Amino acid sequence: MKWFVGFLVFIVCSVALAQENKKLPINLSFQCDEDTVGLRVAYKIREGVRRSSSMRIADSYSDSLIQMSLVCLNPDTGESGNVSYYSYAITFVNRNGYYDYQLRHGVGTCGRLRVDECAGNIVATIDNEIDRLKQHIIDGSFNPS
């Protein structure tokens, strides 16, 4: 009976590891040093990727296929703690060249009461860009020449 329980534990662990490996590795980079709202957005993005069923956080750039960087502008004195102005970029690794493939970039503004919404939108954008990239690879329209 003990061997059967051990076998079941092995199967469950193997399935869990296989499912984890199906998640696309994402490297996240944040530069929001003096922006408390931006730091909260960055934290929520990281948590959103961790909870994702299709993405996982890569420990380093070299372990990732997709990268997302968020850069926050230092807020003006009167806006500090109330609003964040940021720029983000989502890229796909290019193992055969110097520059990665840019999938999406943008700028945004987030107030302190909308941090969850702002981060959720960025996580959804990453997921959407991954889906679009997969479709382009499948239909042959992604040509990385």
- Collapse the DSSP code of 140 into the 3-class scheme (helix H, G, I; strand E, B; otherwise coil) and give the result: coil
| pLDDT tens, position by position, 19-69 | 446 899 999 999 998 899 999 999 999 999 999 999 999 999 999 999 999
Structure tokens given for 140? 């042959």
With respect to CATH, is domain 25-139 assigned 3.40.120.10?
A: no
Q: What is the DSSP letter of 63?
A: G
Residue ranges per domain, the chain?
Answer: 25-139
Residue at token pair 């997302």: 68
User: Which of 64, 1, 82, 78 is CA-nearest to residue 28?
Assistant: 64
pLDDT band for position 145 (cuts 50, 70, 90): low
pLDDT band for position 10 (cuts 50, 70, 90): very low
For residue 14, the model assigns a pLDDT of 34
Q: Are 60 and 25 in contact (CB under 8 A)?
A: no
| pLDDT tens, position by position, 104-130 | 999 999 999 999 999 999 999 999 999
